[in-house]
Amino acid sequence: MPKTVNTEERRFPLLFIKEFMRVRKQYCDYIDEFVNNVKDKIEPKLVNEWEEHVIRIFDITILKFVTASEEVANIQLRAHQEMIHELSSPVIKIKKDVALLPLVGDIDTARAKMILENTLQQCAEKNIAYLYIDLSGVVMVDTMVAHQIFQLIDALNLLGVKSTLSGIRPEIAQTAIQLGLSFANIRIKSNLSQALDSDTRISLQ
């Protein structure tokens, strides 16, 4: 599961920047103290150059730190998003080579693409031969998503994975018909319970 970022972790870069700035001022104070101890033996121009050099070095360091922190945060965010998408389309093994893919919530184009990729990968890794795809928890899909679902079924067939669709809502069916997508070669049941009850694989394995 993605790690929850607590308040201290969020404040960590800010605390580091404050510490950099504190040390930078400390270095400038050391310069001023040194100049005061030697009285008028050092030209003011040289003192300014020293302080400017210290400030420039610390500014470069702070910028590099902020840039690196942002890159790490973006990598973690992408990893969390991928994990969330993967968990939102789990292939649940029922018996040996039989599994279930329950889809819940709204499915946009980005999530549909992720579902296709994750499902194919999980079926291959788990040696799935038959997959139940339940759409009863899907509220709404657009035309692109409906097309993606049919692409998923075609891709599963290419992998040798047979599938059954269940829980298709009327609006999803209408969208598929408008797209000219055919249900002719797809096994369909009105709900998941009916699909599982009608399949002897569940009771025989």
pLDDT of residue 129: 93
- Domain ranges in the chain? 7-87, 92-204
pLDDT value at 2 more than 50? no
CB 91 within 8 Å of CB 123: yes
* Per-residue pLDDT tens over the stretch 145-184: 778 888 888 899 999 999 998 888 787 777 777 777 777 7
CATH architecture of the domain formed by 92-204: 2-Layer Sandwich (3.30)
CB 109 within 8 Å of CB 146: no
Q: What is the mean pLDDT of residues 96-107?
A: 86
Q: Which alpha helices (DSSP H) does 104-142 contain, by range? A: 109-125
pLDDT of residue 116: 87
* Per-residue pLDDT tens over the stretch 103-142: 887 777 778 888 888 899 889 999 999 999 998 887 776 7
CA atoms within 13 A on the CB side of 96: 6
pLDDT of residue 199: 66
The single-letter DSSP state of residue 163 is E
> Considering Cα of 74, then 80, then 81, then 82, what sign does the dihedral take?
positive
Taking the model in full, what pTM does it have? Answer: 0.56
Q: What is the mean pLDDT of residues 34-39?
A: 82
* pLDDT, averaged across the chain: 80
